[in-house]
Amino acid sequence: MKKIRSYTNIWSVEKVLYSINDFKLPFPITFTQMTWFVLSLFVVMLLGNMPPLSMINGAFLKYFGIPMGITWFMCQKTFDGKKPYGFLKSFIAYIIRPKITYAGKPVKLHNQRMNEAITIVRSEVYGISN
């Protein structure tokens, strides 16, 4: 049973499809799963001629298996209590942002002594001279 920490979670119930028109699905799927499947299928179709995907000869694996695997992976809740999409987004943001900060803002290294110190360290470590 999932613990509800606030009342807003009560109203955010995911919609589930049990059938499409008169065709009954073998298992229920959510709109999130359907969206991930369609998006990953579109990406596989776009990148189908690029080297990793162009080496796959089986159409069933290429156009059904890979999107199904991506859908399954992206709908799991395994990383720090986040869905993999949110985890990847926060990981990429961490990699991109500057590491030297003060009060959440990047530090600009315009101090002359700091630039001289960096130049000295570079010349000693890497053998670079300016």
Q: Is residue 63 part of a domain?
A: yes
Per-residue pLDDT at 76: 77
Q: Is residue 130 part of a domain?
A: no
Instruction: Please give the model's pTM, rounded to 2 decimal places.
Output: 0.57
Residues whose CB is less than 8 angstroms from the CB of residue 85 and which lie 6 or more positions away in sequence, other chains included? 74
Average pLDDT estimate for 13-28: 88
Looking at the structure of the chain, the number of domains it has is 1
Report d(CA 42, CA 56) in Å as an integer.
16
Per-residue pLDDT at 38: 93
Distance (Å) of CA 70 to CA 37, 50, 53, 98: 7, 18, 14, 31
Q: Is residue 121 part of a domain?
A: no
Answer yes or no: are the C-beta atoms of 30 and 14 closer than 8 Å: yes
Q: Is residue 94 part of a domain?
A: no
Q: Which tens digit of pLDDT belongs to each residue from 80-126?
A: 677 777 777 888 888 887 666 666 666 665 565 566 666 777 776 66
Q: By residue range, what is the domain housing residue 61?
A: 8-79
Q: Is residue 2 part of a domain?
A: no
Average pLDDT estimate for 64-72: 90
